[in-house]
Structure 1
Amino acid sequence: MGEKKDLSAAEKREIVECFGQGMKTLDISRKLRRDHRTVKRFVADSEHTRVRADKGTMRKVSARQIHRIKRAAAKMPLQSSKQVFEAAGASGVPRTSRCRILQRLAVMHKPSIRPPLTSAHKQKRLQWAQKYMKTNFQTVLFTDECRATLDGPDGWSGGWLVDGHHVPTRLRRHQGGCGVMFWAGIMGRELVGPFRVPEGVKMTSEKYVEFLTDHFLPWYKKKNRAFRNKIIFMHDNAPSHAARNTSASLAAMGIKGGKLMVWPPSSPDLNPIENLWSILKRKIYEGGRQFTSKQQLWKAILTNCKEIQTETVQKLTSSMDARIVKLLSNKEFYVKM
């Protein structure tokens, strides 16, 4: 009754059956005429998760092919698993196996969205950074318009679901069910606004000036002379902003010369208020929330803006020095914050 290397499938089944009936391992070994240590080892191993002998290896793909797959994935970013494997000369591998192999070699990502930057854009961005690198950005009022829809941006409603639970239903409307346009600004620790743009208003230069006169100007006039003397007004190069009529109207308000920041084209990445929109929309659409009316959406915007901490605003406006340093040292000229 010597010890053998392993048990046969029939012997294993019989051991499990006898052990389930309450027999001791010594009695089972006598019944099967096998070494007691062999039976005890099988029972002990069956109580724990068995570890594959080939753990860490891919039986369908050789090590050389895996090296080629990794090289192909590096040369062909954001391609499908089929395209990567075909480029590596490993076609015919099932999709599940391809994904399992790539999970060990790479990470799934979506392409990052960036504004198109020409050579002229890059040059103007560098000139802007050099001009304002010594500016105290706590005196700059960063402004912009934002649009929020009733259903929220695509892809914000996904999440994990426990097996057996029904997938919640979401309304689907044309153009996201319309939405609300609003304007706001951030300066130092302060959030100015938001102020809602009236329904159906096309933001021409005349309407933009009228909007600033109704909303920005009252806030500006409440500040003391020292504040008004040091403030720098920033807005981007939208047609309504860059129009001569707008510049002349701002000059009449006292926003002219060095008090009006010259903004480089195609540079939303340099404006910290863009990060504020992301923070706000995450709060508005938390949990895949949808809205049934524009008034309900606007109420949510106002409520969540009030909940944004002054420290959050301060962190955004304080990031400008880091943005300029990254712009001056970034060979791709794009700043990600």
Structure 2
Amino acid sequence: MTLNNREIIRGQIVALKEAGLSGAEIARSLEVSRTTVSLWLKRIKEGNLSNRRCVMGAPGKITAAEEKLILEAARQQSVLNAVEIRHQLQLYHVSDKTVRRYLHKAGMRYPDPPVRETIRDNHKKARVRFATQHEDAGPDFWGRVIFSGEKSFSLNSSGKLKCWRWNEPRYKHKSLSSLAESDLVTSSFWGWQWLHGMGELVPIEEDFTADKYLEILEEVMLPSVRAYALPYPEEIVFMHNNCPIHTAKIVQRWFEEQQHIQVLKCPRLSCDLNPLEDIWTSTVSAWKPEYEKTPAQLLHHTESQWETFRSNPQTVYRQVMSVPGRLKCVLQNGGSWIG
């Protein structure tokens, strides 16, 4: 009820009361509750006609010192959740929700930490060289690039790990989770995208070798790219990283035989420069391992996410056109991970 409406009802109650109507008759006449009528009549009698609501609310339960301890605990042990922080600090007089609210108030989030290998000086130098070589490339160039990549999904505990972090780069060292060597890989995929949409997604049901990669290039990549991306005789700029499978001799010979394909080798540990990584990240974020536990369920989930992006070409376009900005960030960060 607005302030003006309350004033109107109060005036009507006063007028009807002065006319000799009872509280019940006033309530029926104005179609309000008898409690409302009684409340206003009581206020009128006591002379308390303030229209301002009195909202008492509970006093703050966390002191400034305790708030500082909460934030410090999240900084020092970022993997602790709000429940664990509350118990560690013995803040039994407040709820888990209160602790979480103060962390959110401080601008902290609790997402999954990215799992990345340590990026060393030689990797940084290679990333800087790559960024320097292509920082001035425009839409005409990136519009011909076929971004490719592989992704393996695993069922393990690290996938459920989260950590608190402020608005800082996603790949900042303290926000990273160590790469687990014992992951139980359940499903692997290869796919490609370009400026105007998604390409093909290929499930990998066996060990991914150079021979298997060459088979995908010949039977999937090249025919599909020519069919609905870059028809002959347009040149294809094909981007992949320099992992051993991609640099195998049989793969290199195949590319040398393709007169209309220019290979763009992305440095090792540079998935953050490949917009296809955004697709994989979104697929992982939407994955619910408690319900999608089998390889068949994971296959269905991944294909569904892929088709979702296929139906949103504007999103894919923005991802690809973000590459020049990513290269600038690499140069600004001296080759380190970008946010």
Alignment TM-score, normalising by the size of structure 1? 0.62
Question: Structure 2: which amino acid aligns with 1:37?
Answer: E
Aligned residue for 1:184?
Answer: 191
**Is the aligned partner of 1:268 residue 2:271?**
yes
Within 5 Å, give how 1:45-124 maps onto structure 2. Answer: 50-52=55-57, 55=59, 57-58=60-61, 61=63, 63=64, 65-66=65-66, 68-69=68-69, 72-73=72-73, 76=76, 78=78, 80=80, 92-94=90-92, 96=94, 100=98, 103-104=101-102, 106=106, 107-110=108-111, 112-113=113-114, 114-124=116-126
Question: Structure 2: which amino acid aligns with 1:109?
Answer: Y
Question: 1:217 pairs with 194, 218, 222, which one?
Answer: 222
Aligned residue for 1:321?
Answer: 324
Q: Secondary structure at the match of 2:72?
A: helix
8 Å CA contact 1:327, 1:334 repeated in 2: yes
Aligned residue for 2:250?
Answer: 245
Distance 1:289 1:77 in 2: 30
Q: Secondary structure at the match of 2:126?
A: helix
Distance 1:51 1:147 in 2: 55
8 Å CA contact 2:199, 2:225 repeated in 1: no
8 Å CA contact 1:73, 1:79 repeated in 2: no
Q: How many residues align?
A: 272
Distance 2:186 2:201 in 1: 15
Closer, same or farther in 2 for the Cα pair 1:98/1:246, shift >3 Å?
A: same
Q: Which runs of 5+ in 1 are unaligned?
A: 1-19, 30-35, 157-174
Q: Which runs of 5+ in 2 are unaligned?
A: 1-33, 162-182
Q: Secondary structure at the match of 2:146?
A: strand
Aligned residue for 1:254?
Answer: 259
Distance 1:235 1:253 in 2: 16
Task: Using the TM superposition, give the Cα deviation of residue 238 of structure 1 relative to its aligned residue in structure 2, in angstroms.
Answer: 2.7
Distance 1:69 1:83 in 2: 13
What is the identity percentage for the equivalent residue pairs of Structure 1 and Structure 2?
18
**Is the aligned partner of 1:330 residue 2:333?**
yes
Distance 1:318 1:25 in 2: 64
* Alignment deviations for residues 248-304 of structure 1 (CA, whole Å, 9 cap, x no partner): 222123377xx1112111111111011122345567x5897637773x765665555
Aligned residue for 1:170?
Answer: none
Aligned residue for 2:315?
Answer: 312
- Rg larger for: 1
Structural RMSD (CA): 4.6
Closer, same or farther in 2 for the Cα pair 1:103/1:241, shift >3 Å?
A: same
8 Å CA contact 2:125, 2:335 repeated in 1: no
Aligned residue for 2:136?
Answer: 134
Closer, same or farther in 2 for the Cα pair 1:24/1:69, shift >3 Å?
A: same
8 Å CA contact 1:150, 1:290 repeated in 2: no
Alignment TM-score, normalising by the size of structure 2? 0.62
